[in-house]
């Protein structure tokens, strides 16, 4: 057998015997607008509130590190959720939007605010990033008001040219692929 490397991978690889399923199809998200640089805490809050929780972004600020996805996943556990990494590289969001829409579930999409440099600055920072929520085919961006691009069809999102930093699928607590 002659083996060749595969240059592509699906964002969500189905394990043997696993069927495509939507874990959180019935959630009703209500857009929240972040105050200051709090996209992670506000995003987590918005999703937790969709489960009926009475929480604020401050709840998540006290329990997470904005640079630690593991802490985000841990903070979602009381609400029956945690995160799983998706396969991805630094492709621009526009290149992966159709695949995300086909998966038709709940995702967090983090992207670089500018084209990332190859080396961090003198403070160790690569560049700023932002995180948004995708539920089914809708993007929720906490940095924008709901009626000014904060809630829109994912294909119409104004930042599709940004490079993905991380993509997470929100999965039920105990899912075998959780963080």
CATH of the domain at 50: 3.90.70
Residue 121: domain span: 39-172
Q: Do the domain assignments include residue 6?
A: no
Q: Do the domain assignments include residue 20?
A: no
CA distance 150 to 31: 8
pLDDT of residue 41: 98
pLDDT of residue 19: 72
Q: Are 94 and 164 in contact (CB under 8 A)?
A: no
pLDDT of residue 138: 97
pTM reported for the whole predicted model: 0.90
Q: Give me the number of domains the chain comprises.
A: 1
pLDDT of residue 114: 81
Least Cα distance to 88 among 166, 6, 170, 7 occurs for 166
Q: Do the domain assignments include residue 4?
A: no
Identify the band that residue 84 occupies on the pLDDT scale cut at 50, 70 and 90.
very high
pLDDT of residue 99: 93
Mean per-residue pLDDT, 33-50: 97
pLDDT of residue 117: 66
Q: Are 164 and 100 in contact (CB under 8 A)?
A: no
CA distance 42 to 49: 10
Q: Is it the case that residue 8 has pLDDT exceeding 80?
A: no
Q: Which residues contact 56 (CB under 8 A, 6 or more apart)?
A: 45
Measuring CA to CA, how many Å separate 79 from each of 73, 140, 171?
10, 19, 11
pLDDT digits (tens, 9 = 90+) for 50-61: 999 999 999 999
Q: Do the domain assignments include residue 99?
A: yes
Q: Do the domain assignments include residue 29?
A: no
């Amino acid at each position: 057998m002659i083996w060749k490397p595969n240059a592509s991978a699906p964002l969500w690889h189905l394990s043997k015997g696993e069927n495509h399923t939507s874990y959180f199809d019935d959630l009703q998200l209500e857009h929240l607008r972040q105050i200051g640089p709090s996209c992670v805490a506000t995003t987590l809050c918005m999703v937790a509130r969709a489960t009926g929780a009475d929480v604020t972004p401050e709840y998540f600020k006290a329990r997470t590190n904005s640079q630690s996805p593991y802490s985000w996943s841990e903070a979602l556990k009381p609400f029956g959720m945690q995160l799983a990494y998706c396969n991805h590289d630094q492709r621009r969001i526009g290149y992966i939007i159709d695949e995300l829409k086909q998966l038709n579930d709940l995702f967090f999409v983090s992207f670089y605010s500018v084209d990332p440099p190859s080396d961090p600055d003198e403070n160790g920072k690569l560049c700023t990033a932002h995180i948004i929520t995708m539920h089914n085919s809708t993007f929720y961006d906490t940095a924008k008001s709901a009626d000014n691009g904060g809630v829109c069809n994912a294909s119409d999102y104004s930042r599709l040219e940004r490079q993905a930093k991380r993509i997470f699928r929100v999965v039920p607590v105990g899912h075998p692929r959780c963080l």
